[in-house]
Amino acid sequence: MSEMVLHGYWRSSAAYRVRIALNLKGIGYRQVGHDLRAGEQRDPAYLAIAPHGLVPALEHEGQILIESPAILEWIEAKWPEPPLLPDTPDAAAKVRTIGALIGCDIHPLNNLRILTRLRDQFDASNPQVKDWIAHWIGEGFGALEQLIARDGGVHAFGDTPTLADCYLVPQVYNAERYNVDLGAFPRILAAADAARSLPAFAAAHPDLQPDFG
């Protein structure tokens, strides 16, 4: 098998999701960092890999994959053990629901390019930006807390790690990074802490990545 290359950025929660999944599957990979703060994602060489100018992108055996939801599903399909999706359609849909709530409804609103536009085009102050972040995380986490209450166990869904946890842990990291008050979300925190205690999640932490800094 040719070397797998993950293009990312140490603090990107979308790249963080993919690192977790690869680690859980025991798949080796090399990382190439692109500093989003410096605009390296818009370098022509990287745009030739990922035309949308976002991370992550994954190169493997001549294939280039972009967008973390597609990459995660591809990983699960290509390396089904250990499974990160339940084996029944109903349960798998619930795991995907958690992933979509985070990946579609929470994370994009607090992405770096959104926050930059709020500052540059609408003169938002840092307190206003932090309020924006806290609002949308709180809105999403309110629903997520209920979903975990319904179907969570040790983890966000059931008692083993799933794709739901691959999404959850980076989003909790983002919330904690911006000092969002998570006191109203004990089930989210318990699930995140259970996942973060596992080596695959711990090794994926942003601070441990080669481009950290």
Mean pLDDT by 10 residues, the chain (213 residues): 90 98 98 97 97 98 97 98 98 98 97 96 97 97 98 98 98 97 98 98 98 95
Structural domains counted in the chain: 2
In a domain, 207, yes or no: no
Check residue 1 and give its pLDDT.
52
Q: Which domain holds residue 149?
A: 89-200
- In this structure, the answer to whether residues 105 and 76 fall within a common structural domain is no
| CATH number, domain with residue 118 | 1.20.1050.10
- In this structure, the answer to whether residues 48 and 125 fall within a common structural domain is no
Q: Is the pTM of this model over 0.95?
A: yes
Query: 122-131: long-range contacts at Cβ-Cβ below 8 A with a sequence spacing of 24 or more?
Result: 130/178, 130/179
- In this structure, the answer to whether residues 136 and 65 fall within a common structural domain is no
Check residue 119 and give its pLDDT.
97
Count of Cβ atoms closer than 10 Å to residue 183 Cβ: 7
C-alpha distances (whole Å) from 18 to each of 13, 109, 133, 148 are 9, 20, 23, 21
Last residue of a domain, one of 38, 67, 82: 82
